[in-house]
Amino acid sequence: MSSTVTIYYPFHPHASKTLPVVSSPRHAEGAYTVKDPAGFTLKVPVWMTEPTAAHYRLSSTLSLSMEALKELGELLSLHGLRATLASFHPHEGGQHEATKSLSGPREHATRVPALGTPEGSAG
């Protein structure tokens, strides 16, 4: 077991820092408990400490697999919501928009309160 880990994920507040490990994860997809430079403990997911995480970048183009989109549609339908998928194909002679329903029509409208509103706040 290494007594330190380096955070490679470029968007973490402690990116590129090597921090002392307080405890290691029990599972490969778990998180290390580390001490930050101020002495506070925090959890850092294992994947953020792997060198491949250094290559993550922001992009102006969203890219998701069809499988991920289908799973999102299924998740939304479990909550009584309907998802539509708009596609943009810049390499096919310009902008072509198509809308496809990922789930059947709703039987009734469902309102999901926004976080930070009295209805959506935890407490």
| Residue 21, strand partner residues | 34
pLDDT 10s digits, 54-70: 999 888 888 888 999 89
Residue 22 lies in a domain: yes
Do 48 and 84 fall into the same domain?
no
Do 48 and 16 fall into the same domain?
yes
pLDDT 10s digits, 9-52: 999 999 999 999 999 999 888 999 999 999 999 999 999 999 99
Do 10 and 41 fall into the same domain?
yes
Distance CA 14, CA 111 (A): 38
Do 10 and 46 fall into the same domain?
yes
Distance CA 62, CA 54 (A): 19
Residue 74 has pLDDT above 50, yes or no: yes
Residue 106 lies in a domain: no
Do 71 and 50 fall into the same domain?
no
Residue 81 lies in a domain: yes
Both tokens assigned to 108: 């009734």
Instruction: Kindly report the average pLDDT of the chain as a whole number.
Output: 78
User: What is the predicted pLDDT for the residue at 106?
Assistant: 46
Confidence of residue 87 (pLDDT cuts 50, 70, 90): low
Residue 45 lies in a domain: yes
Do 13 and 51 fall into the same domain?
yes
Q: Is 0.75 topped by the overall pTM?
A: no
Burial (CB count <10 Å: 0-12, 13-18, 19+), residue 77: middle
* Selected residue with higher pLDDT from 61 and 113: 61
User: Based on the structure, what is the number of domains in the chain?
Assistant: 2
User: What is the predicted pLDDT for the residue at 86?
Assistant: 57
**Which residue range(s) make up the domain with 50?**
4-55
Do 14 and 42 fall into the same domain?
yes
Residue 90 lies in a domain: yes
